[in-house]
């Protein structure tokens, strides 16, 4: 693995509250405290797993890093800092406008949970991957075409598949398309929001291995969001655990699994299905008996 001693992203005291409106005049009647004073850093070349149940604030954290929360929730209350570290400069991106954020958008890209709904069904694959190049780069058309072909190869798809539509691919293949799109602008940081939860277990392993290979090749920093500790175990250098909007624990992956500190982390670990040697032995005996018939 590459050097992970330098920070690329800093989050300091990030606090996010969504207002709840009600009544005849749609006044604020309550708030949802989605993220509560979260502080953490992401290192260059590191995968930081963020784990928690639904509603824990982990996806909201990812969207805050992308600076897209106000696009969908203009009344959201956000405080704290999210800083991108680049060329020995610390760029505070949390409160940048859409136009101010544009130069930095290409450095932080996202892989979405649902590989089908995140892809435009009316666009063929090469246009889907080319879209961020059209928005964020000054490459010529031929350079864009070359890069699309190169990206398809990197994620294990062929150039012949580039003229197909998303519905013509399997779930795992669609996620590979999403990964290629995320890599198009040569980002430094990838926010992966439940990127394998919609896939079969065997396909999950393939996508995780692909992401690890790409991380090693391009020295990517990955924030890997998941609800299942067993998924993040194989890809994460460190793991942060969120509960009710709070980051209750963050440690090296081995420490999280072998020496968890917080009770909620211990509960998550207990929820991981454990192999049953006795059950496997019984099934083996049953198979032997069936084969003897």
Please report the pLDDT score of residue 228 as a whole number.
83
Question: In whole angstroms, what separates CA 202 from the centre of its chain?
Answer: 19
Q: Sign (positive/negative) of CA torsion 98, 11, 197, 175?
A: positive
Residues of the chain with pLDDT below 50 are 1, 279-280, 283-293
Predicted confidence at residue 229, as pLDDT, reads 87
- CB 7, CB 44: distance < 8 Å: yes
Q: pLDDT tens digits, residue range 18-40? A: 998 887 767 778 889 999 999 99
Decide if 59 contacts 115 (C-beta within 8 A). no
Give the ranges where the chain is alpha helix by DSSP (H): 58-66, 69-72, 98-105, 125-136, 141-154, 171-183, 201-218, 229-232, 253-258, 263-270, 277-292
pLDDT the model gives residue 150: 97
Token pair belonging to 278: 């006795």
Name the β-bridge partners of 250. Answer: 240
- Nearby residues of 281 by Cβ (< 8 Å), 6 or more positions away: none
pTM of the model: 0.88
Burial of residue 133, with CB atoms counted within 10 A of its CB: 0-12 exposed, 13-18 middle, 19 or more buried: buried
Number of other residues whose CB lies within 10 A of the CB of residue 145: 16
Q: pLDDT at position 286, please?
A: 46
Residue 202's H or E segment, with its range, is: helix 201-218
Q: What is the CATH number of domain 46-76+96-273?
A: 3.40.50.300
Q: DSSP character for 185? A: T
């Amino acid at each position: 693995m590459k050097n992970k001693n330098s920070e690329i992203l800093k989050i300091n005291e990030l606090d996010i509250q969504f207002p709840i409106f009600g009544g005849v005049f749609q006044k604020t009647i309550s708030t949802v405290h989605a993220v509560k004073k979260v502080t953490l850093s992401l290192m260059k070349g590191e995968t930081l797993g963020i784990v928690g149940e639904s509603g824990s604030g982990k996806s909201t954290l990812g969207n805050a890093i992308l600076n897209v929360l106000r696009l969908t929730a203009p009344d959201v209350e956000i405080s704290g800092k999210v800083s991108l570290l680049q060329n020995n400069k610390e760029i505070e991106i949390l409160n940048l406008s859409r136009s101010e954020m544009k130069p930095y958008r290409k450095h932080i890209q996202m892989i979405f949970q649902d590989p089908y709904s995140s892809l435009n069904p009316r666009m063929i694959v090469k246009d889907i991957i080319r879209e961020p190049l059209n928005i964020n780069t000054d490459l010529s058309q031929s350079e864009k075409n070359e890069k699309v072909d190169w990206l398809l190869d990197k994620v294990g798809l062929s150039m012949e598949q580039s003229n197909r539509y998303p519905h013509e691919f399997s779930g795992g293949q669609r996620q590979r398309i999403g990964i290629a799109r995320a890599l198009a602008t040569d980002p430094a940081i990838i926010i992966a929001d439940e990127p394998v939860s919609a896939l079969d277990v065997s396909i999950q392993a393939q996508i995780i291995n692909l992401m690890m290979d790409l991380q090693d090749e391009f020295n990517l920093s990955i924030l890997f969001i998941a609800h299942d500790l067993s998924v993040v175990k194989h890809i994460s250098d460190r793991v942060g655990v969120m509960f009710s909007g709070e980051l209750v624990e963050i440690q090296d992956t081995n420490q999280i699994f072998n020496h968890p500190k917080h009770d909620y982390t211990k509960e998550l670990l207990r929820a991981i299905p454990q192999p049953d040697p006795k059950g496997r032995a019984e099934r083996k005996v049953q198979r032997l008996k069936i084969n003897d018939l």
